[in-house]
Amino acid sequence: MKKVLALMLAAAMVLGLVACGSKPATTETQAAATEAATTKAVIENQVATKEAATAAEGETLTYKKDIVIAHHQANVARGPQDTGSGMQKILGFMIFNRLTIFDPESKELKGSLAESFEQENGGQIWTFHLRKGIKFQNGEELTADDCLYTYERAKEFGKSTSAWVDPIETIEVIDDYTVKYTLKKANMDFAFQMSTNQSSILNREANEADPEIGYGIGTGGWMIDEFVANDYTKFKRFDESWVWEENGINPTETITIKYMADQNARMLGVQAGDLDIGCIANNAEFYNYQKIEGLNPVVAASWSCDYVGMNANCEYFKDINVRKAVAYAINKDEALEIINNGFGLTCKSMWCPDTIGYKENFEENYEYNVEKAKEYLAKSAYPNGFTCKLTTINAYSLYAETVQAQLAAIGINCEVELTDSPGMNEAGKAGTLEMYVWNSTMSPFGDFSRKLITSDGASNYAHFKNEKIDKLMSDAAAEGDAAKRAELYEQVQDELNADCYLVPMFFGYLSNLTRDNVEGYQFTSEGYYMYNVRAIEK
């Protein structure tokens, strides 16, 4: 098995897919943290993927047939195009494959369903050569027509899939195993975009035969056995999947991923042995789990940046002085400690340290400064403060309360409004959010941030428009020289910093609590990759 060292990024990063609304760390927890090694040391020594166990001489290892996992986000759809939530990424890794894949160890983009690919005309034309003999879970063979169908269906979802759909001018099926994408403009990152969950390849036959469930049929190692929205998904192993060729078929036969909003319930479930894995959405108790026999808390870095956004169409936040007042009033170090027990890295840029053109310092770094925040508010059209909505998901309630308390110190009163992930996405697209706490998964490829920061970006819930950013992003995507691309992305970050519609908070950590007999699963920088998880019978 490959090992995935948890410190995958340059400076030990990134929050998990969400921060859970539990209480701040107790005195006992803080004491445990003091006694333990520093967070950095824990991360550096943590292996997120355990090596496969070996049997002693004369013994045979027996594996559990069924694995049960609890997560803090609900399952809302079978397919990868319908929503971009963290849970959908997990399902996507289980059920589907994409044309390309990013290797978290080598940090290289490689072929997946495509055995090879090449670009021409400066990144405007991309040709992918498919592997032959790959089977979908309905028995159909993967062909280039399925790539065409995936694009055709994705166009129906508007902003949900626009990040990879909109740049495409035409798709040409050259033959059964060759597909050519011609883009509207050159984009050197297009092949990476084809590695993301929403670019997962669907089967035309399955979807046209049964639109209700056909979009949940892929080429991955697991197929849906039972699906109850907002409750659980049960997978059964798809033995004919090509993914088992490298390491052999997983001895696990079924995997169930349950939606369990309460973190305490998840943790107690793992301790009782009712669950094999439980997502730790909030790391306040992480050190304590290390002391409990039979448990194995694991942690890894990812690319998800938590941030506070302000809607450009909201009257208060049209004022740059208000936005800067908010930025200076937020104490990121305090927030990280309260919310995540210090597990993470506060940041000044939405770019993660691995991203091309990453920049650390700006003309204004917005270091926590209450007096400066009050000065900016005094210069604004609202010197006496105001009241606004602060929206986030239920699992981020502690996060919202922390920001609420910090902004109250300068006279900005936030009424916290909680919703779920689909509700957050719907409100963001509709433009009804005023101020909000959210996260976005970034990547080493700069054009990936387009969805968040360009005028028509699918995840631009702040609805700000900066024509210079739009142009810089287009110029950078078409630039073949890496050094010049980096310079352009630095300019993008300068513009974002000056506009201050988004206040980057921190990159934290992604962690799970597992039984100590669990092995084979791994984290990736995008989230969890559970396809090869298994557990030894004791």
Question: What per-residue confidence (pLDDT) applies to 279?
Answer: 87
Question: What per-residue confidence (pLDDT) applies to 419?
Answer: 94
Are 368 and 330 in contact by the 8 Å Cβ rule? The answer is yes
pTM above 0.85, yes or no: no
Q: How confident is residue 304, by pLDDT bands cut at 50, 70 and 90?
A: confident
Are 424 and 393 in contact by the 8 Å Cβ rule? The answer is yes
Strand pairing category for 510-515 and 502-508: unpaired
Q: How confident is residue 255, by pLDDT bands cut at 50, 70 and 90?
A: very high
pLDDT for residue 538 is more than 80: no
The region, left, alpha or beta by phi > 0 then psi within -120 to 50, assigned to residue 393 is beta
pLDDT for residue 525 is more than 70: no
pLDDT for residue 99 is more than 90: yes
In this structure, of 212-221, 225-234, 351-360, the range with the lowest mean pLDDT score is: 351-360
Q: Which whole number is the average pLDDT over 69-87?
A: 83
Tokens of 186: 């050159």
What's the mean pLDDT when you consider all of the chain? 85
Q: How confident is residue 375, by pLDDT bands cut at 50, 70 and 90?
A: very high
Q: 101-138, pLDDT tens digit by residue?
A: 987 667 788 999 999 999 999 999 999 999 999 999 99
Any idea what the Cα angle at residue 305 is, between residues 15 and 264, rounded to 5°?
30
Task: Tell me how far apart the terminal alpha carbons of the chain are, to the nearest angstrom.
Answer: 21
> Distance between alpha carbon 464 and the CA centroid of its chain, in Å?
22
Question: What per-residue confidence (pLDDT) applies to 43?
Answer: 44
Question: What per-residue confidence (pLDDT) applies to 87?
Answer: 81
Write the DSSP assignment of 391-446 as a string of letters: EEEGGGHHHHHHHHHHHHTTTEEEEEEEE-HHHHHHHHHHT--SEEEEEEE--SSG
pLDDT for residue 374 is more than 60: yes
Question: What per-residue confidence (pLDDT) applies to 159?
Answer: 61
Q: 183-210, pLDDT tens digit by residue?
A: 999 999 899 889 888 899 999 999 999 9
pLDDT for residue 27 is more than 80: no
Q: Which whole number is the average pLDDT over 462-487?
A: 94
pLDDT for residue 367 is more than 80: yes
CA neighbor of 399 nearest in space, from 518, 316, 468, 307: 307
Q: Which whole number is the average pLDDT over 384-408?
A: 95
Residue 236: its H or E element: strand 232-237
Residue 174: its H or E element: strand 168-175
Q: 43 or 174: whose pLDDT is higher?
A: 174
Instruction: Compute how many other C-beta atoms are within 10 angstroms of the C-beta atom of residue 132.
Output: 11
In this structure, of 76-80, 238-242, 379-383, 481-485, the range with the lowest mean pLDDT score is: 76-80
pLDDT for residue 34 is more than 80: no
* Percent of the chain whose predicted confidence (pLDDT) is above 90: 59
pLDDT for residue 21 is more than 50: no
CA 448, CA 357: separation in Å to the nearest integer?
13
In this structure, of 84-88, 428-432, 470-474, the range with the lowest mean pLDDT score is: 84-88
With 0-12 CB in 10 A as exposed, 13-18 as middle and 19+ as buried, what is 19?
buried
Question: What per-residue confidence (pLDDT) applies to 18?
Answer: 30
Q: Residue 298's beta-bridge partner residues?
A: 512
Question: What per-residue confidence (pLDDT) applies to 11?
Answer: 26
Q: 398-445, pLDDT tens digit by residue?
A: 999 999 999 999 999 999 999 988 899 899 999 999 999 998 888 888
Tokens of 131: 């592997």
Q: How confident is residue 315, by pLDDT bands cut at 50, 70 and 90?
A: very high
Q: 261-276, pLDDT tens digit by residue?
A: 898 999 999 999 999 9
pLDDT for residue 463 is more than 90: yes
- Residue written as token pair 């921060």: 19
Are 14 and 303 in contact by the 8 Å Cβ rule? The answer is yes
CA neighbor of 82 nearest in space, from 425, 393, 457: 425
228 φ, ψ to 5°? -120, 105
Question: What per-residue confidence (pLDDT) applies to 46?
Answer: 44
Q: Residue 168's beta-bridge partner residues?
A: 183
* Percent of the chain whose predicted confidence (pLDDT) is above 70: 86
Write the DSSP assignment of 115-143 as a string of letters: EEEEEETTTTEEEEEEPSS-B-TTSPBP-
